[in-house]
Amino acid sequence: MKKEVQDLVNAGVMLPLMEEFYTIQGEGFHKGTAAYFIRVGGCDVGCHWCDVKESWNADLHPPTAIESIVENAAKYSKTIVITGGEPLTWNMDPLTEMLKSQGMQIHIETSGAYKLTGTWDWVCLSPKKMKLPTKEVYKAANELKVIIFNKDDFRFAEEQAAKINENCILYLQPEWSKRDKMVPLIVDYVMQNPQWKVSLQTHKYLNIP
The neighbour count for residue 12, using CB atoms within 10 Å, is 18
The neighbour count for residue 177, using CB atoms within 10 Å, is 11
Q: Is 209 annotated as a binding residue?
A: yes
Q: Is 160 annotated as a binding residue?
A: no
The region that residue 207 occupies, defined by phi over 0 for left and psi between -120 and 50 for alpha, beta otherwise, is left
Q: Is 43 annotated as a binding residue?
A: yes
Work out which of 9, 40, 43, 66 binds ligand SAM, going by CB under 6 A.
43
Residues of span 107-126 touching ligand 2KA by CB under 6 A: 109
Q: Taking CB under 6 A as the rule, does residue 17 contact ligand SF4?
A: no
Distance from C-alpha of 120 to C-alpha of 107, rounded to nearest angstrom: 6
Q: Taking CB under 6 A as the rule, does residue 64 contact ligand 2KA?
A: no
Instruction: Map residues 136-155 to x or -, x wherever contact with ligand SAM holds by CB under 6 A.
Output: ---------x-x--------
CB 28 within 8 A of CB 145: yes
List binding-site positions.
Answer: 24-26, 39, 43, 47, 49-51, 83, 85, 126-128, 209
